[in-house]
Amino acid sequence: MGWPLAVSAALMERKRSSLWMALLALAGGHLLAMAAILFPFSALMALAAWQREIQIGAACLVIGLGLYLLINRRHPRFLARVPPSRLALWSFLAAMAHGAGLMLVPIYLGICGTVDTDTGHAAADTLIGGNVTIAAAVALLHTAAMMLSGGALAFGVYRWLGLKFLSKSWFNLDLVWALSLILVGGLSLWHVL
């Protein structure tokens, strides 16, 4: 959801290149947030004896974050206007607060491990199981998808629709995001228990 800040950066500086620089800063912050979550959890995979407990803890953490976002639906006002020089930091903090890396942790920790009948899940389990390179690839692919989709929205609003459209037609996906965290955490917890 950082793409409106990319539009804002381009409008403030009146340069199309500012849009792309802002998107790169947002992608960098998002990637760092996922790395900060995924890599410590991938290191924990060495503690195979504690895998079930870690899975339960990660699932409860995702559910807890989803419940917190469901209950506390207010965004701090100071986050509404972020200067382009601080977009990477904003992206990192927003991705951490919204659980970008946390959503991937239950899957990375082996949600697919016991599904023997589905070859797709078995392949995912083989690829993901304890491999730091796969964690990096997942984070990079997720960041690329976020940047492409957010970039398309930001460019469309900046180039064709404008700020007036954005201010009159804003929609908030926080409820959907909170419920998706609770769902993924609940499915992970159900799978482990």
Task: State pLDDT tens for residues 129-163.
Answer: 656 677 778 778 888 998 999 899 889 988 888 87
Chain centroid to Cα 24, Å, comes to 15
Instruction: Please report which residue ranges of 45-172 form alpha helices under DSSP H.
Output: 51-71, 87-97, 105-108, 119-128, 132-156, 162-168
Per the CB < 8 A criterion, the answer to whether 55 and 62 are in contact is no
pLDDT tens profile 68-93:
888 987 766 665 678 878 888 888 88
Helices assigned H by DSSP within 82-131? 87-97, 105-108, 119-128
Q: Is the pLDDT of residue 21 over 90?
A: yes
State pTM to two decimals.
Answer: 0.54
Residues 32 and 176 sit within 8 Å (Cβ to Cβ):
no
